């Protein structure tokens, strides 16, 4: 049973029926630093630690498809000269 399955089991069954113990894993040094004594709170903190641990190692999937070519730079002005004049008037006020 991996860490996530272990935490899920305790979350579903509850922490009142049996003592919540943390499995030995690469995160043991972090779990040892949890300062709470409440089993339910320790379970939630453990789930948060494990979630962040999994997120840190996650990488975006890569695609074998050829990427789309970039469009050429814009050559037209962003707005008309009259619009520029209106904007300058508004910003001066």
Domain boundaries, the chain: 3-57
The pTM of this model reads 0.52
Short-list 13, 1, 7, CA closest to 53 = 7
Q: How far is it, in rounded angstroms, from Cα 16 to Cα 9?
A: 13
Q: What confidence score (pLDDT) does residue 61 get?
A: 76
Of 81 and 29, which is predicted with more confidence? 81
Vertex 90: Cα angle to 88 and 93 (nearest 5): 105
Rg (CA), the chain: 27
Q: What confidence score (pLDDT) does residue 87 get?
A: 92
Sign, CA dihedral 43-45-51-53, equals negative
Tell me the two tokens of residue 38. Answer: 């409440």
């Amino acid at each position: 049973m991996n860490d996530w399955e272990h935490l899920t089991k305790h979350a579903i069954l509850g922490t009142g029926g049996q003592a919540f113990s943390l499995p030995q894993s690469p995160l043991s040094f972090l779990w040892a630093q949890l300062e709470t004594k409440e089993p339910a709170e320790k379970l939630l903190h453990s789930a948060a630690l494990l979630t962040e641990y999994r997120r840190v190692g996650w990488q975006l999937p890569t695609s074998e498809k050829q990427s789309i070519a970039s469009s050429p730079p814009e050559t037209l002005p962003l707005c008309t000269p009259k619009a520029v004049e209106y904007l300058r008037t508004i910003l001066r006020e």
